[in-house]
Amino acid sequence: MKPIILITGGSGYIGSHTAIELINEGRYEVVSLDSHVNSSNRTLDRIEEITGTRIRAYDVDLCDLAATRQVFADNQGIAGVVHFAALKSVGDSVENPLGYYENNLLSLINILKLCEEFAVPNFIFSSSCSIYGNISSLPVTEETLVSEPESPYAYTKLVGERIIRDFCQISQHVRGISLRYFNPVGSHASGLNGEAPIGRPNNLVPVITQTAAGLIPQMTVFGGDYPTRDGSCVRDYIHVTDIAIAHLKALDHLVKHPDGKAYDAFNLGSGQGVSVLEAIEAFERITGQQLNYVVGPRRPGDVVAIYSDCSKARDVLGWTPQYGIDEMIASAWKWQLRLNAERVNA
Ligand code: NAD
Ligand code: WQD
């Protein structure tokens, strides 16, 4: 029997891509736990279509400690937990701070308690570049002085990291790694799995693909007067499959270094800054489509530019991203075409 990796949020965007890479890699059995507050069971079909494996999946809310304990009891000997489950909308978190603190922190505390109770040795946490707040020095390293996070969502990630660090220092069993994602985009190369945002998306790449698909009549570039090379904001986009693979590397690192650090944190980005207009230009070049966009006012809360220094993940985890912006955009478009076809056939 293969060791089990429990993925929380396995029906979500990044969790499902990580499940696919873990299954295809072949060493682990993957089990998912998800409340489906921001995803649907259809993702399990997509994982099966790509990998040929139907994973065991539990429709459970991590805030329900008893129900979550039952999942651990049913799956004795879990070798690792990869904890993706969280609410992730910056804007919603400003509207509903208590809901975000409750969901993201209670779920984390519950799963850590159960990792201790069931002696789970390895824990990986989805953190975010949003913990860095408004940074003044680029690129961002893990040591970059953390200023105030800008939203309740970002605070849940910063506090989440602190909870894991403090807990792992005293835990008898658990060691942890936080992975700080920059801007994950793109889809599985097959075009059979990708981000399926519920409602109108806020993130750039789904907005681009939905605009091209005619679901959004016209998109707005938020700000054309920033002090950047073309006036639009700069971000560090990273392919979701590269993010997924980093979780395998992080698990391997913990397994191979049983006497290593109790807790560590790593940036995951491409290290390349790409502007909004450059992303649009890449989309138009790759797909041959003209995108209907206007350059409009700045979006409140946006930072001008942020991109990562990922040398720590490269040196310690042996992780280097494989995909560039063209593959990110091309795969996102392939997925959008698939979603369009599903809609037509529904
Ligand atoms: P997602 O919403 O697609 O996936 C999260 C999943 O967690 C969803 O399926 C949701 O139903 C589930 N979930 C939420 N609360 C739960 C609970 N209490 N119990 C059980 N399941 C619950 O989001 P994603 O983009 O895949 O993000 C995964 C993780 O990565 C999140 O923690 C997010 O904060 C973090 N992250 C995402 C990004 C990004 O841009 N996508 C960037 C940085 C960090
Ligand atoms: C990217 C750029 C927009 C939409 C967010 C979270 C962060 C992390 C990653 C979770 C910005 C511009 C966007 C549009 C536009 N998530 N844009 N028109 O804001 O960098 O980061 O996702 O942890 O915490 O804050 O990502 O995709 O929303 O925006 O011009 O219609 O695209 O202004 O410059 P962001 P994004």
**pLDDT of 1 strictly over 90:** no
pLDDT of residue 300: 84
Q: d(Cα 153, Cα 46) in Å, to the nearest integer? A: 28
Residue 158 binned pLDDT confidence (cut-offs 50, 70, 90):
very high
Q: How far is the CA of 110 from the centre of ligand 2 (A)?
A: 30
Q: Is the pLDDT of residue 225 over 80?
A: yes
Question: From CA 126, how far away is CA 179, in angstroms rounded?
Answer: 6
Establish how many alpha carbons lie within 13 A of residue 32's alpha carbon, considering only the half-sphere containing its beta carbon. 33
| 293-334 pLDDT tens trace | 999 999 988 889 999 999 999 999 999 999 999 999 999 999
Say if ligand 1 is within 6 A of residue 243 CB.
no
Q: Which ligand is nearest to the CA of 127?
A: 1
pLDDT value of position 52: 98
Q: What is the pLDDT of residues 10-42, one digit of tens each?
A: 999 999 999 999 999 999 999 999 999 999 999
Q: Are 262 and 172 in contact (CB under 8 A)?
A: no
Angle CA 35–39–40, to nearest 5: 90
Tens digit of each residue's pLDDT (9 = 90 or more) over 230-257: 999 999 999 999 999 999 999 999 999 9
Q: Residue 12 in contact with residue 34, Cβ under 8 Å?
A: yes
pLDDT category, 343, cuts 50, 70, 90? confident
Percent of the chain at pLDDT > 70 equals 100
Between CA 239 and CA 205 the distance in angstroms is 11
Active-site residue, from 153, 155, 181, 323: 153
Assess whether 153 carries a catalytic annotation.
Answer: yes
What does pTM read for this prediction? 0.97
Mean pLDDT of 44-68: 98
Nearest to 140 by CA among 182, 177, 176: 182
pLDDT per position as a tens digit, 169-208: 999 999 999 999 999 999 999 999 999 877 889 899 999 9
Model confidence at 144: pLDDT above 90: no
Q: How far is the centre of ligand 2, averaged over its atoms, from the C-alpha of 203 (Å)? A: 5
Ligand 1 contact via 35 beta carbon (within 6 Å): yes
Tokens representing residue 100 in the block: 């975000």
For residue 179 and ligand 1, the question of a CB distance below 6 A is answered with no
Nearest to 236 by CA among 183, 159, 304: 183
Instruction: Kindly indicate the confidence band of residue 271, based on its pLDDT and cuts at 50, 70 and 90.
Output: very high
pLDDT of residue 302: 86
How far is Cα 51 from Cα 26, in angstroms, rounded to an integer? Answer: 10
Lowest mean pLDDT among 80-94, 136-150, 186-200, 271-285: 136-150
Residues with Cβ within 6 A of ligand 2? 88, 90, 128, 130, 183, 202-204, 207, 219-222, 233, 235, 276, 299, 302
Q: Give which of 38, 44, 28, 43 is closest to 61, Cα–Cα.
A: 38
Q: Is the CB of 309 under 6 A from ligand 1?
A: no
Q: Which of 140-149, 250-259, 328-337 has the lowest average pLDDT?
A: 140-149
Give the closest residue to 190 by CA, choosing from 47, 340, 50, 44.
50
